Structure 1
Amino acid sequence: MKSKKLFSTLVLLSVTVLCLSSCLAQKPVLIGFVASLTGSTSELGVNGRNGLLMAVEEVNAAGGVNGKAVEVVIKDDQNNPEVGLAVDRELQEAGISFIVAHMTSNMATLSVPFVNSQDMLMINPTMSATTLFGQDDHVIGVISPNSDQAAVIKESMVKDSVGKRVAVIYESQNLAYTGTVKDGIAQEIAPVGGQIIYEEAFLASNSTNYLDIAKRVLSTQSDSIVILASSFDAAMFCQQFYKLNNQTPIYLAAWSMNNDLLLQGGAAVEGVTITSLIDLESQAPAYMAFRDNYLKKYGAEPTFAAVYTYEATMLLLNTVAETANPNPEKVKQAILQKGIYPGLQNEITIDGYGDASRTIYEYVVKNGQFTKAE
């Protein structure tokens, strides 16, 4: 009888262990995604969300992360640092240690210190303020610093022989981004005798007086105009310059490189020069497959936000899959140790601080399309 009871107990324990193992195997891998999904900067966040969801679907279709499905908790930061901090805290309290966030540089002010204090790991798709680089923190980025964009804008001006007297319009809510691009341009053009002769900040809102700002800029008689703003706001400014018969060349940074610029700007953005974080003409097989799938799923060309957030998500999930007993610190160190990762178009190099180095491209708007500059 005792042997039978012992056998039954062992069988019961074995079944219990198997059930527990099975249940654990089915527990999903949870990650968070935080971006501006409403308001004037929402296209950046929506495209980023689309890229992330494509990465998650691809990983799950291939069997998930070590047999576990990936689930995403999506939050809207409303492009407001305090809201961003609140939703980051909600994710942390829900037991989520890995987040793909945020999309605009101003969000880093409160979110990065919080992530550091909670031993979370943030994979940064598109926050590119130069001040975020060179920091030993809990952030891994897949985007180059704004100083790289500023250098490309300067080269464009020098090529066009218009970089001596520059007027700059910049959005102030995302000053962490626009301010560092502006300062970078000033530093870049100084050695060639250029300077910013006029600058004006604006706060993106329904009451922004685009026309009055455009008039003040044109009154300076600058030989080039730089607009550092979202695609929507940049398009609104271009419309006003178009109405005022402006002939001064206009330059935009990569924040404006979204479909809204073409849709909202129309004829007013023809001839505008813009920096791009992706090569729209890339024939890389991985990018072509991603582009085709994106077009089928969303009915639009993928933007840099979609591409970079897809890459950021794949970087995170692949490293979690490769790391035994993954936790934020182990995943961070694994990413830093490897250093070079395949992107959709080219390799992503990540240094010891978790900062990326990428190629920046120059485009112009021609016939209603983004066309690579010659």
Structure 2
Amino acid sequence: MLRLITGFLILVLALAGCGDVSVDPIRIGFISGMTGRFADFGLPGRNGALLAVEQRNQTGGIEGRPIELLIRDDAQESEVAIKAVQELLGLQIEALIGPMTSGMVKVILPVTEPAGLVVISPTSAAVELSGKDDLFFRLASTMRESMHLSAALHYRRGLRRIAVAYDINNRVFSESTLEEFRTAFGELGGEVPMAKSFDSAKPPVFSDLIQELLSAQPDALLFISSAVDTVLLAQQARKLSPGLPLIATEWAATEQLIELGGHAVEGLYLGQLFDRNNISSRYQSFRDAYQIRFQQEPGYTSVMGYEAASVLLDALSRRAKGQPLKEVLLRGSFEGLQQTIVFDRFGDSQRRIFTTVIRNGQFVVIE
């Protein structure tokens, strides 16, 4: 019941600013994990999408029609996600923003594809989902690019043996990311002496997991996990091997990583899909609006959620009568907050990756 009430209140807020709500609205769905362990990933993404819709409604919507953002929580559970998407399809949405994780994207595509529904994920990055002629679009580059950059950087740092812990609760992402890193690092002459999986839905004893990884005598540890689990892993690593270098992926690149991690994540390296210190007027205007609306700084998924919604709204505005939405998305370019967004013929996009290290409680861009 609380989830339904929350969704209704957000819908009302998203409609605020459109003068004539008697006009048939344009309905857009949004789905992400907004409860549980991955909430720090999903909630800011929702906030970003909501802000984009509110701003569009304040300028008259699309051809005078207000935008309804219908929001659902997938709870990072397959059955919940499928049921939520079926509900949204019943409400005749024009397109769906989300899910945020590759695991949930894979779950819902067998439902959305037969229905002819365009899906735009702000953050899904699994290689498995790329190169397919379907209705799935995404703003994040695949982890192939990210892991090649990461492997090259850490090889230059003198690291040769990197052990890995990865979360199979987002298996589509974590397993493909592991293989991309293993391949890229191996081509340079490095190796992954041990890789251990865990399931964040049934959290293990992280001290035992770290102890097992350390038995392989690695030069560093790589965590393919959410911010919460990366913090828990880092805390144990700092206890058992204080000076060992730590690495994470974009999945962990939320504000909660620093808020919860504190000293344990100092010196940790990871990729980012935006630059928090960008001084462009476009990004600064978004940042100010986000702070006013949500009383907090925007993070990685806030930016990606905002951009995904903005791309979709721009495409809907450009679409001619009877023109497939997929065609509009494939033919155009869209202005993001820090870079231009262009989709290839498969709906994949290339995005600049910023390599960062955590120093004094801040994400510092190093390349």
Structure 1 alignment gaps of length 5 or more: 1-22
- 8 A Cα contact 2:169 2:201, kept in partner: no
Q: Which amino acid aligns with 2:119?
A: M
Report the CA distance between 1:301 and its aligned residue: 2.0
Identify the match of residue 331 of structure 1 among 325, 329, 341. Answer: 325
> 1:258-297 alignment to 2 at 5 Å?
258-297=254-293
Alignment correspondent of 1:370: 363
The 3-state SS of whatever aligns with 1:136 is: coil
**Structure 1 207/132 Cα, relative in aligned 2: closer, same or farther at 3 Å?**
closer
- 8 A Cα contact 1:254 1:277, kept in partner: yes
Q: Does 1:313 align with 2:313?
A: no
Alignment correspondent of 1:74: 71
Larger radius of gyration: 1
Structure 2 alignment gaps of length 5 or more: 1-19
Post-superposition CA distance 1:306-338 (Å, at most 9, x none): 111111111111111121236xx7111011112
Post-superposition CA distance 1:35-56 (Å, at most 9, x none): 0000110111101000001100
Post-superposition CA distance 1:55-110 (Å, at most 9, x none): 00110011101101111111000011221111111111122231101000001222
Q: Does 1:148 align with 2:142?
A: no
Report the CA distance between 1:266 and its aligned residue: 0.6
Identify the match of residue 109 of structure 1 among 87, 96, 106. Answer: 106
- Structure 2 distance, partners of 1:251, 1:146, is 14
- Structure 2 distance, partners of 1:279, 1:151, is 20
Alignment correspondent of 1:89: 86
- Structure 2 distance, partners of 1:316, 1:264, is 33
**Structure 1 358/207 Cα, relative in aligned 2: closer, same or farther at 3 Å?**
closer
Report the CA distance between 1:282 and its aligned residue: 1.1
Identify the match of residue 339 of structure 2 among 326, 334, 346. Answer: 346
Identify the match of residue 49 of structure 2 among 48, 52, 62. Answer: 52
Alignment correspondent of 2:249: 253
The 3-state SS of whatever aligns with 1:274 is: strand
- Structure 1 distance, partners of 2:277, 2:266, is 19
What number of residue pairs does the alignment pair up? 349
- 8 A Cα contact 1:236 1:264, kept in partner: no
> 1:6-45 alignment to 2 at 5 Å?
26-45=23-42
**Structure 1 267/24 Cα, relative in aligned 2: closer, same or farther at 3 Å?**
closer
Q: Which amino acid aligns with 1:337?
A: R
* TM-score, structure 1 normalization: 0.90
Post-superposition CA distance 1:263-297 (Å, at most 9, x none): 11110000000111111221121111111111222
Q: Which amino acid aligns with 1:330?
A: P
Alignment correspondent of 1:62: 59
- Structure 2 distance, partners of 1:155, 1:291, is 32
* TM-score, structure 2 normalization: 0.92
Report the CA distance between 1:354 and its aligned residue: 1.0
Q: Does 1:227 align with 2:223?
A: yes
Structure 1 runs of 4+ aligned residues shifted over 4 Å read none
**Structure 1 63/258 Cα, relative in aligned 2: closer, same or farther at 3 Å?**
same
Please provide the CA RMSD for this pair.
1.7
Identify the match of residue 126 of structure 2 among 126, 129, 133. Answer: 129
